[in-house]
Amino acid sequence: MRGLIGLLVVVWLVVGAAAAWQRGYFGEDQEVSCSTFGDTALTIVAGPLNYVGVNPEVECSVPEVPQPSE
């Protein structure tokens, strides 16, 4: 039973990687940022759900750091 579950997880992730490749996330001209890394990772984890309309996107924001007083 564990072997079957492991196989299903691997197939799920391979389908997700194929979806990320089709969306162009692995191209050489792709900029590397928090957002693009998150989009790629979520697309892979979403697996086959990408083919039924799921389009995971991540918005990364940098928190404002207080500036030292003068």
Query: Any residues with CB less than 8 A from the CB of 54 and at least 6 apart, and which?
Result: 46
- Which phi-psi region, left, alpha or beta, contains residue 64 (left: φ > 0; alpha: ψ -120 to 50)? beta
pTM of the model: 0.74
Model confidence over 26-58: pLDDT tens digits?
A: 877 767 788 888 888 899 999 898 889 888 888
